[in-house]
Amino acid sequence: MRGEIKIALTGNANVGKSVLFNYLTGLSQMVGNWPGKTVERAEGTLFYEGWKIRVIDLPGTYSLSAYSIEEIIARDYIAIEKPDVVVDVIDASALERNLYLTLQLMELGARVVICLNQIDFARKKGIKIDSQKLSSILGVPVVETIATSGYGVNNLLSTIVKIVEERIEYKPREIRYGAEVENEIQKLVKLIEEEVAPGELKYPTRWLAVKLLERDEEIIEMFSKRGLMEILKEAERIIHRLEEIHGEKSPSIVAAERYHIIIDIVEKVQKIERRRRPKALDVLEEATTHKVVGYIILVGVVAFTFVGVFRMGDVLIEWIEGGMGIVREIIFGALEELGLPPWINLLLEEGIVEGIVAGITIAIPYILPFYIILSILEDSGYLPRAAFLVDNLMHKIGLHGKAFIPMLLGYGCSVPAVLGSRIMETWRERLTLGLVVVLIPCAARTVVILGLVGRYIGVEYALLLYLIDLILVIFVGRVAYSKLPGRPYGLIMEIPPYRMPHFKTILWKTWFRMREFVYIALPFIVLGNVSITLLEILGAFEFINEVAMPFTANILKLPPFAIIPLIFGILRKELTLILLAQIAGTSNFAGILTPSQMFTFSLVTMIYIPCIATIAVLIREYGIK
């Protein structure tokens, strides 16, 4: 092996960065959190021309200011970790907007390679970009790609290797603003160089000067902690002068300077041949964002999602149960031949084997189709429009439209829904969303609701349970909104164009979401089964029934044996129904519960303590406090 190359992928949202990351790294990925943050860190490896290439997928961001955790993470990683190459993934159909981040990366001193992605979509829109001229103007390599098909990815890797091996000349353009602003930047640069020892600050000097003019809070705090008050005072004097001249706030002045450079570049490298968008897309766009028609479509989409999930789930259960039945018999036969003591045999069979089988046959058939449908809606561009549509409704519970996506995830599994709260901008909104999504009936709780209330009492009573849950969600959201410190944050979300979902992308997204369930939830499902089997072996069920009888029989009005399923439902929710049948010795629940008891049992299962896998994720995301 010739060595290791460390590259960072960065770019705006919806530019195909994650698709490129998945294409490059395949299944050799590690997913965790950035140190001290709740933002996901994805890292993978690949081998190319004898090099081991580590790929770090930085959070999607529009700038390198201190306005969000994602922006701070991206700029700190580039400045401190100093990756060998930063691949700036750009949406070729939105060159002007994307170049804003590119200029900031170059100012930060990153060794940039521009990945001009979605070039096919740009051409369909009549946009032609002279990538060679763009490369010449910026002084950095520009590679055209279509990440969904892999077009240009080999060329991208080849370019990265050539830069590291210094086989191509790398001379990035020096970003210079208009004379008025540039002169003030140079004054600050000179003052910083005089007052600060070389290497004391982790960022390039010029970049720091620009950030001081932008009133970047983190950079100002960094200077303040080091006692560099003279630099801060001079920066304030310069800002005051510029704001008096321009009549605007200093961050807007700097942004305008950048866009002046960008517009000049775009005029030189981009030509647009006006093409009429298909009328059907215009109609679809208008309908899905309409205040009345949009909600009708949304209700239809949600209804289709859940009908589709349970229809596909029923089919999958039959297939999987058939296959797992054969596997179960083979394993049980092998255990019999080992001649183990009966209690060990019972623990292995009923605890571990049945735990794995239950997790695969009960949860996965419903969660898998849900994630497939969700990925299709996401990849097509519909979900952001749904988020925009429900923005006003979300504000009623102290959130905004972006929260709709994790809440929809919650109907599949609470674990990825809690993880999805990371898309919210502030800790206040993340925590509010975290409190709300754990109340949403996941697929496991839906199995209990439909399998008990829906089947034996009626669908209308199952819908009543969902209505009760909705009222509870609104109540908890409003309380969190009024009690948690902080201020509301408006919806800032890009609405991508409608596109035909890409099959491979859907498979990738589905797999990564399912992986969260398999790695986090499935072990707890097995643990739950083992615990129950141990209690059964020890004969502890009768003791638990007697101790809990005042609560179970007198308050909940349920049979005494119902407490065991509720206790172990904390380990996994669908276990309540499985264990209820196991303890009662029948799956005909009409013979052991009255309609009111079925309703109560389902209601308690729906709203009491989250499953242990969700609790683990809640602690990881928000801490014990």
Res 28 pLDDT > 60: no
Angle between helices 131-138 and 250-269 (to 10 degrees): 140
Res 142 pLDDT > 90: yes
Residue 33: the pLDDT is 43
Return d(Cα 32, Cα 42) in angstroms, integer.
7
Q: 59-82 b/e with 16+ CB inside 10 Å = b?
A: bbbbbbbbbbbbbbbbbebbbeee
| Tokens, residue 434 | 């975290």
Contact status, residue 142 vs residue 114, Cβ threshold 8 Å: yes
- Looking only at the bridges linking them, the beta strands covering 85-91 and 112-117 are parallel
* Model pTM above 0.85: no
List the domain boundaries for the chain: 3-164, 179-272, 276-625
Contact status, residue 383 vs residue 342, Cβ threshold 8 Å: no
Residue 29: the pLDDT is 53
- Which tens digit of pLDDT belongs to each residue from 512-568? 777 766 776 677 777 777 877 787 788 787 788 778 778 887 788 888 878 888 887
Res 31 pLDDT > 60: no
Res 571 pLDDT > 70: yes
The residue type at 299: V
The residue type at 408: L
Helix (H, G, I), strand (E, B) or coil at 494: coil
Residue 38: the pLDDT is 41
Res 297 pLDDT > 70: yes
Residue 66: the pLDDT is 63
Q: Comparing 233-237, 246-250, 290-294, 400-404, which segment has the lowest mean pLDDT?
A: 400-404
Residue 619: the pLDDT is 80
- Which tens digit of pLDDT belongs to each residue from 493-517? 667 778 888 887 788 778 877 776 6
Res 275 pLDDT > 70: no
Residue 140: the pLDDT is 96
pLDDT band at 488 (very low <50, low <70, confident <90, very high): low
Residue 516: the pLDDT is 66
Same fold, 3-164 and 179-272: no
pLDDT band at 32 (very low <50, low <70, confident <90, very high): very low
Helices assigned H by DSSP within 214-292: 217-225, 229-246, 250-269, 279-288
Higher pLDDT, 307 or 271: 271
Residue 20: the pLDDT is 92
Contact status, residue 239 vs residue 250, Cβ threshold 8 Å: yes
Residue 187: the pLDDT is 92
Tell me: domain 3-164, CATH 3.40.50.300, correct?
A: yes
| Tokens, residue 287 | 């309908």
- Which tens digit of pLDDT belongs to each residue from 51-68? 999 999 988 888 887 667
Higher pLDDT, 374 or 524: 374
- Which tens digit of pLDDT belongs to each residue from 583-625? 776 667 788 888 898 899 999 989 888 887 788 778 877 776 5
Q: Left if phi > 0, otherwise alpha if psi is -120 to 50, otherwise beta: which for 126?
A: left
Res 573 pLDDT > 70: yes
Q: Which of 67-71, 184-188, 578-582 is predicted most confidently?
A: 184-188
Question: What's the Cα-to-Cα distance from 169 to each of 136, 172, 459, 503, rounded to whole Å?
Answer: 12, 10, 69, 38
Measured from the Cβ of residue 145, the count of other Cβ atoms closer than 10 Å reads 27
Q: Is the dihedral of CA 460, 466, 469, 473 positive or negative?
A: negative
Higher pLDDT, 603 or 361: 603
% of residues, the chain, pLDDT over 70: 92
Contact status, residue 446 vs residue 366, Cβ threshold 8 Å: yes
Residue 291: the pLDDT is 84
Across residues 364-378, what is the average pLDDT?
80
Across residues 348-375, what is the average pLDDT?
75
Question: What's the Cα-to-Cα distance from 59 to each of 11, 423, 571, rounded to whole Å?
Answer: 8, 10, 32
Tell me: domain 179-272, CATH 1.10.287.1770, correct?
A: yes
Contact status, residue 178 vs residue 262, Cβ threshold 8 Å: no
Res 287 pLDDT > 80: yes
For the chain, give the mean pLDDT. Answer: 83
Question: What's the Cα-to-Cα distance from 180 to each of 212, 241, 249, 251, 263, rounded to whole Å?
Answer: 16, 11, 15, 15, 19
Residue 257: the pLDDT is 94
Across residues 161-174, what is the average pLDDT?
89
pLDDT band at 156 (very low <50, low <70, confident <90, very high): very high
Residue 384: the pLDDT is 82
